[in-house]
Amino acid sequence: MADKTIDVVVAGATGAVGRQILTCLEEQKFPVNNIRLLSSSRSAGTELTFNGQRITVEKMEKDSFKGYDLALFSAGGNTSKEFAPVAAEAGCVVVDNSSAWRMDPEVPLVVPEVNPDAVAEYRNKNIIANPNCSTIQMVVALNPLHSEFRIKRLVISTYQAVSGSGVKAVEELHEQTKSCLEGRPVETGVYPHQIAFNALPHIDAFLDTGYSKEEMKMVNETRKIFGDHSIGITATTVRIPVFNGHSESVNIETERHASAETVRELLQNAPGVEVLDDPAGGVYPMAIYAQGKDTTFVGRIRQDDSIENGINMWIVSDNIRKGAATNTVQIGRLLADQYL
């Protein structure tokens, strides 16, 4: 229903993603009627601004969701496991940013540019999952190639910003950088090693296989979003000392042949994508350029001559925006327009 207004809860409102969700609701002119902001007891009482109004953040409780239509969650996996079913039971549809529900076969995992129709499956549990940031930007860029040429295999290396780990990680990079430059000892907290002037091949926890959970999210979530479990996917995910914006090197093997020129043209017309590809002229996607934008930027598109049907590309997006808040609010919009 086009003219209806929605009563919205933002759970984890004080976090890096939660604050961005508020901005995205404003920017996308989401038809908000009442809005309620929730956090842990640590941040309850904080005042945040939404559409020019000061709103006091409340501690999330089991009865926080009654009478609300839509809850946008970004409060970490454990919080989502505990509270998303409570909100869902109260009749409030949850769009969840954490990894808690993504691989539940009854919960749709949605990127609006790729599988918008999956939103309808929210009815199973009243929960929709928002994918991992690295996965979202990659599938936005790869969807047109998969449709046209069918992707057989992906080899991925990521260069991920610290903002994905929240506000404290941003402060940690800041402090460590200052300490290094001023010759003081470096203190670690969020990350197991110094992140300033370093690269850590370590995001989220390691599994017995030697892969990290972040790497396996890229494998499993990509297959689920494309609805194609035959795609071979292998990833190495790396944290680098960038504040915001994830970059990815992706090697793609397709079933049918695609020239670099055809891929470039295809992506120039793809929703949510902007091609920046004049390397000799210094034009290619960069984290500092993607910062603050909702677009997924693609460049360095070139043939991989080591195999018959191969393409290499470089994909960059703002991990807090399209990788999290923007995508969540877009899913909320699809729900609001069709079902709420």
Under a CB-based contact definition with an 8 Å cutoff, are residues 14 and 76 in contact?
no
Binding mask 179-218 for ligand 25A (x = CB under 6 A): ----------------------------------------
10 is an interface residue for ligand 25A by CB under 6 A: no
Q: How far is the CB of 237 from ligand 25A (least distance, A)?
A: 13
Q: Which stretch binds ligand 25A (CB under 6 A): 12-20, 104-112, 175-183, 279-287?
A: 12-20
304 token code pair: 């991989």
Using CB under 6 A, which residues numbered 210 to 249 contact ligand L14?
Answer: 217
* Geometric angle at alpha carbon 119, from 118 and 122, rounded to 5°: 110
Q: Per rule CB under 6 A, is residue 112 in the interface with ligand 25A?
A: no
One residue of 76, 85, 116, 241 binding ligand 25A per CB under 6 A: 76
CA atoms 140, 145, 148, 149: torsion sign: negative
Residue 15 as a binder of ligand L14 (CB under 6 A): the answer is no
What is the total count of residues that contact ligand L14 (CB under 6 A)? 9
Nearer to ligand 25A, 98 or 222 (CB): 98
Q: Does the protein bind ligand 25A through residue 17 (CB under 6 A)?
A: yes
Pairing outcome for strands 310-317 and 246-254: antiparallel
Q: Which one of ligand L14, ligand 25A, none interacts with residue 43, CB within 5 to 8 A by kind? A: ligand 25A
Q: Cα dihedral angle (325, 74, 121, 66), rounded to 10 degrees?
A: -120
d(CA 135, CA 275): 18
List the structure tokens of 4: 């209806």
Residue nearest to ligand 25A (CB): 15
194: left (phi over 0), alpha (psi -120 to 50) or beta: beta
Query: Could you say which of 26, 27, 121, 204 contacts ligand L14 (CB under 6 A)?
Result: 204
Q: Decide: 133 and 225 in contact? Cβ < 8 Å.
A: no
The item of ligand L14, ligand 25A, none sharing an interface with residue 40, based on CB under 5 to 8 Å by kind, is: ligand 25A
How big is the CA angle at 112 (ends 214 and 335), to the nearest 5 degrees? Answer: 110
Q: Is 114 in the site for ligand 25A (CB under 6 A)?
A: no
- Give every CB contact of residue 53 below 8 A, 6+ residues apart in sequence: none
For the bound state, the minimum distance from the C-beta of residue 133 to ligand L14, rounded and expressed in Å, comes to 5
Applying the rule CB under 6 A, the residues between 43 and 102 that interact with ligand L14 are 99
Do the Cβ atoms of 218 and 142 come closer than 8 Å?
A: no
User: How many Å apart are CA 5 and CA 291, to the nearest integer?
Assistant: 30
Catalytic residue annotation: 133, 246
Classify 89 as helix, strand or coil: helix
Residues in contact with ligand 25A by CB under 6 A are 11-12, 14-18, 38-40, 42-43, 60, 74-77, 79, 97-99, 130, 133, 164, 166-168, 323-324
Residues in contact with ligand L14 by CB under 6 A are 99, 132-133, 160, 164-165, 203-204, 217
